[in-house]
Structure 1
C-alpha cells in the first residue's frame, strides 16, 4: 500500500472537500494553502452573496466530518455571503482537518521525482515531487502519490483587452482599474466610486452584481454615472433566466440588473472591444478606445469583470492533456464548452474526465474548467469524491454519478460561487435556445463621454 500523502493544492471549498473525502477513504491528505487562512480567495469577496443555498455548498464528506465535532450546520435553505461561507464552514472544516492543512505554504512546482517532462521512464512508478515555498521564504519539497490541484482561478483574472491580452496601456492605467466587484459597503472603497464616472466591463454575473451595487450608489451620490461596456453587439440574454432559473438568487440578480438599465441608471455601450486605455485629463482619468476607434472618455474607475483563466506555470514539468481552447482537461472540455453548450446543465463528471497523461495528477474545482464559466461548487465536490474513490481502487464508486445539478434556465449560464464572467462570444453562440425573450431595452451606441 502506498503510504505517501495525497497533496491537495488550495484550502478553498474544493480543496478542503478533497481532504475530507481522502481522509474518509483512509488516505492521508496534505493541503497546502498559500494564504494565511483557509478560504483566503473567498475572503477577497466576502461581501458577495452566493447563488447557491447552504445545502448546495457543503460537501457530504465534509459535513460528516464536521458533524462529529458538534458543529452546528447553517440553515440549508439560506444564502450565505462569502464571509458566511468562510466563517461558518471553511474555517471550521480546516480546523477539523487539523495538521492535514498547512497555511502560508505555496506550491511553486510539481514534477515526477528525478525526471523532467521529457523523460518517459518511471512516470508510472516514481512519486510526485512537490516543491514548496513557506511564508518565511524558505523552500523544501515533499513526495506524494497523487496531486489534486484545487487552487482555482481567482488569482488570474482576464484582462480588459478584447483579444485576451491586456489592452495597450492597461498595466500603466492600473491605478484606475479593479478586477473584482467593489465592496461599496466599505467607506474607503465607496469614496473611490462616489461621484465618479465608472465603466463596468463584462456580461456575466459578476458584472450584474457590480451593476446592482453601483446603480444604488448612483442614486445616493450626485455625479455618479455608469457606462456598461459589452463586447457583444446587444444585451440579448445577458440578464439570464429570471424567474425560470432554478438558482433563484441568480435569477433575481438578473432581474435587478435589468431594472437598473430600464430605469436609466446606466448607459449601455455594446459592440465595444477595448484595444487601448489612454490617459485623459492629465493622468486623473482614462479613456477607453475600441478596436474600431470608438471612445469612452472621462472615466475615473474601470471595473473589469471579464472572467478568469488558470495559472498553469507551476505545472510546466507535468504532462497535462488540455483542450487547446478552454485549457480544461480534454475529456471534460466538450461537456462544458460554452461555445457549443446551449443551456441547462453541465453533465456531472469525475475521474475519467479529469485524468491526464501524467498519472495521478488532477485539476479539480474551478481550475479544471479552464476558461469555461459554468462551474458550481457542488460539481467540484462530485469531482473530488470520484478522484478519492479512484485513488483507493474503488472504480465502481469513481464512475458512479452522485450528483443532480439544478437547471439554469439560461443559455451559457454561469452560476458559480465566485461569479466569473461569461465570455460574450459564449453567450452569443448559445443565445436563443431556451432563454427568455430578449429584454426590450434601448441600447445606446458608443459615444464620447460614455
Structure 2
C-alpha cells in the first residue's frame, strides 16, 4: 500500500504569521484545507510588534477577518470595542497572538523561508512541472535546515524587512551604509528611554513624505517641547503644496487627518524645518555628525541622527526558482499593477481583487497582502482579507466564489491626501496628491506599518 500523500493532501504553506497570513490560514481551514504557517519571528505578528507604539487609523471593527473571528469565538474571545483604535501592540496581543494560539501546531515560529521551488524542477524545466508539489526550504532559529512539501504557497511575508534606502535613485546614498549607527528606518518609540536619549536635544533629519514621516515629525515636535535643542529637519524630494499634509479635517479617517495636521503644526511652530526638492546623493561625516548632500550639490547643516522613511520593497530572493509575472516597476503582479501604480493614480480606490489578479505562471504560488503591492504605497488590509478569501476558494476548486467580490470599500472623498505608506518619489506625481480617496475602512500595511496612524 502506498502511504505517500497526494498533492491535494499536502498542506498549503503560508509564509508569515501577520494579519494577512493568519487570515489566509483561517480561510483555508474554513475550506477544509490544512494550512501550515511559517513565521520567521518568535511570535505572531512579529513585524507588527516592531511598531507596537503606533496607533492604527482604523477601529477594531475593521481590523479583524471574519473567518478568523469564527475560529476565535469558541475560545470566548470577544473583539474589543469596535469603535476604539488599537495600537500595533494591541493588535498583536489581543487578536493576532490569540488567533495563532487557536491554530496551534499549524503555526511554526522561528522558521525562516529561504527558498520555494517545484520538487525536482528549477525554474527552467517545463516537463511535468505542474504535476509536482512545492518544496519549501526553511532555516530554524538554531541554524538547522529543513525541507517541507506543499500543495500551494501563499506568501504573506510583507515588506517590513526591506525598507527603502535614502538615496534618491533607489540605492543607498554614498556613505549611507557606513553611517548606519546614526541612521534609522523606523519611526522611533520615544517612550523607550534609550530611544528618547538618542534624539533628545539633537538635530534629526527626517527623510520621507508619507504617514510615517508625519508621525516622526509629530513625535519629535512633542519631544522638542520637553527637551531643549531638539529639532527636526524634514527632507522632501518634492515641494510643499496644499496636499502635502493630507486631507486634514476633511479626511473621513479622523486619525489620519489629525496626523497630517500635527506634522504641519510641527513646521509652523518651529520644531521642524522643511527642506524641499532635496534628493539625497551623499552622506558625509563631520565629526560625530552627518552632512547630507543633494544631487544638485546643496549641503545641509550637520545633523546628529537621520530617520529614513521612504517606503518598503518586497524580498523576492527566496522565490527565485518559481515563475512569477511581476511588473517591472512596482514588483507587483502584472495584472494588479495598473490598479495601484502611483505614477498614474492620484485618487480613487483600488477595487477588491483576488485570484485572477494575483495568479502567476507558476500555478499555486500567490503573493498577498502588502507583498502583493510590491513597492506601491497604497495597500489596504481589508483588501488583503478579500485576497486570501478568494485564493482559498480557488485552491478548494470553487472558482465561482473565488471570482465573486465579497467586500465593499466606501470612499473617504478626500483627494490629495498623504500616502497611506511611506511614499516613493512617484506616489503623488500624477497630480500632487497621494493615492487617496481611500476606503474609510482599514488602511494599514500588514507586515508593513503606516506608522502612527498607520491604519
Q: How high is the TM-score relative to the length of structure 1?
A: 0.93
Instruction: Tell me what 1:345 maps to.
Output: 349
CA distance in 1, matches of 2:416, 2:393: 33
Equivalent position of 2:440 in the other structure: none
Counterpart in the other structure of 2:425: 424
1:412–1:308 distance in 2 versus 1, CA, 3 Å: farther
Give the Å deviation of 1:114: 0.1
The answer for unaligned runs of 5 or more in structure 1 is 437-450
Matched, 1:147 2:148: no
Cα deviation digits, residues 220-269 of structure 1 (max 9, x gap): 11111110000013344121112222322111111221122222221100
Give, in whole Å, the separation in 1 of the partners of 2:263 and 2:335: 36
Contact persistence 1:412–1:427 (CA under 8 A) = no
Partner of 2:228: 222
For the 8 Å contact 1:237–1:427, the answer to whether it is kept is: no
Structure 2: give runs of 5+ residues left out of the alignment. 1-5, 438-455
Kept in 1: contact 2:349–2:436 (CA 8 A): no
Root-mean-square deviation over aligned CA pairs:
1.5
Q: Partner residue of 2:175?
A: 169
Contact 2:244–2:417 (8 Å) recurs in 1: no
Write the distance in 2 (CA, Å) between the matches of 1:303 and 1:373.
18
- The answer to whether residue 415 in structure 2 is matched with residue 414 in structure 1 is no
C-alpha deviations, 1:327-380, integer Å up to 9, x for none? 000000011111111213111100100000000100000000000000111111
- Residue in 1 aligned with 2:41? 35
Shift in CA distance, 300/433, structure 1 to aligned 2, threshold 3 Å: closer
Helix, strand or coil at the partner of 2:229: coil
For residue 380 of structure 2, what is the aligned residue in structure 1?
A: 376
Q: Following TM superposition, by how much is the alpha carbon of 1:219 offset from its aligned partner in structure 2, in angstroms?
A: 1.3
Alpha-carbon distance in 2 for matches of 1:193, 1:235: 28
Q: Relative to 1, partners in 2 of residues 1:292 and 1:220: Cα closer, same or farther, differing over 3 Å?
A: same
Q: Is the 8 A contact 1:235 1:270 kept in 2?
A: no
Aligned with 1:295: secondary structure? coil
Deviation of 1:410 (Å): 3.0
Alpha-carbon separation, structure 2, partners of 1:304 and 1:406: 32
TM-score normalised per structure 2: 0.92
Q: Equivalent residue of 2:94, what SS?
A: helix
Write out per-residue CA displacement over residues 411-435 of structure 1, whole angstroms, 9 at most, x where no aligned residue. 47533xxxx3022322132326998
8 Å contact kept, 1:341–1:412: no
Shift, 1:289, TM fit: 0.2
Match of 2:441? none
> Quick one: distance in 2 between partners of 1:287 and 1:196?
14
Cα distance in 2 for partners of 1:238, 1:384 equals 33
Q: CA deviation at 1:148?
A: 0.2
Q: Deviations over 1:356-412 (max 9, x none)?
A: 000010000000000000011111111000000000111111111111224241347
Q: How far off its partner does 1:121 sit? A: 1.3
- How many Å separate the matches in 1 of 2:139 and 2:224? 45
Equivalence for 1:23:
29
Instruction: Work out whether 1:117 is the aligned partner of 2:123.
Output: yes
- Residue 307 of structure 2, aligned match among 294, 300, 303: 303
Matched, 1:103 2:109: yes
State the partner residue of 2:331. Answer: 327
* Alpha-carbon spacing, 1:157–1:434, altered in 2? closer, same or farther (3 Å): closer
Q: Secondary structure in 2 aligned to 1:89?
A: helix
Deviation, 1:273, is: 0.3
Deviation for aligned residue 1:110: 0.2
2:52–2:88 contact (8 Å) kept in structure 1 = yes
| Partner residue in 2 for 1:389 | 393
How many Å separate the matches in 2 of 1:380 and 1:22? 14
Which of these residues, 227, 236, 243, is aligned with residue 249 of structure 2?
Answer: 243
